Amino acid sequence: MNRIAVVPGSFDPVTLGHLDVIERAAGLFDEVHVVVVHNPDKNALLPIAQRVSLIERSIADAGVAGTIVVASWSVGLLVDYCTDVGAQVLIKGIRSQIDVAYETPMAIVNRNLAAVETVFMLPDPSHAHVSSSLVRQVAALGGDVRPYVPAAVYEFLQKT
């Protein structure tokens, strides 16, 4: 059986913490789908197509091994995407108890709706404090985001 996992997120922008979770998921599953989802509760900095492109470049630049598909999903439930591609698992990177409290109800609903399990993955401690919103704030105020994002993201943000 082909073990397929989905790593969803807004990835606005993708961070080194995201890349760490993606790389470790690729080591555990036969196929990993990194899915950029629209989050209506967030004001996006980057268009979805740009986020997909930056994730693809970041994965390639990092030399992440394995079968990785980068896609976007904005119609229907995320578990619908999982069902469409045959994924049995959602991988969620969590940084704190706040993330656990936020993600747990969604994990239960996703399991009830489509028998899709959620695996919580802790980031490398060097990235545990980094979020996309923090990167956006630092970048907007002219701070150096190089320690927090892949080179492709840093280069892109320098141009905008």
**Catalytic machinery residues:** 18, 42, 95, 132
Chain centroid to CA 10: how far?
A: 7
Torsion angle of alpha carbons 63, 68, 70, 73, nearest 10°?
Answer: -150
Contacts of 114 (CB under 8 A, 6+ apart): 77, 79, 80, 82, 83
Are 71 and 56 in contact, with CB atoms under 8 Å apart?
no
3-state secondary structure of 157: helix
Return d(Cα 145, Cα 138) in angstroms, integer: 7
For residue 25, give the nearest of 69, 82, 76 by alpha carbon: 69
Residue 135, sorted as left (phi over 0), alpha (psi -120 to 50) or beta, turns out to be alpha
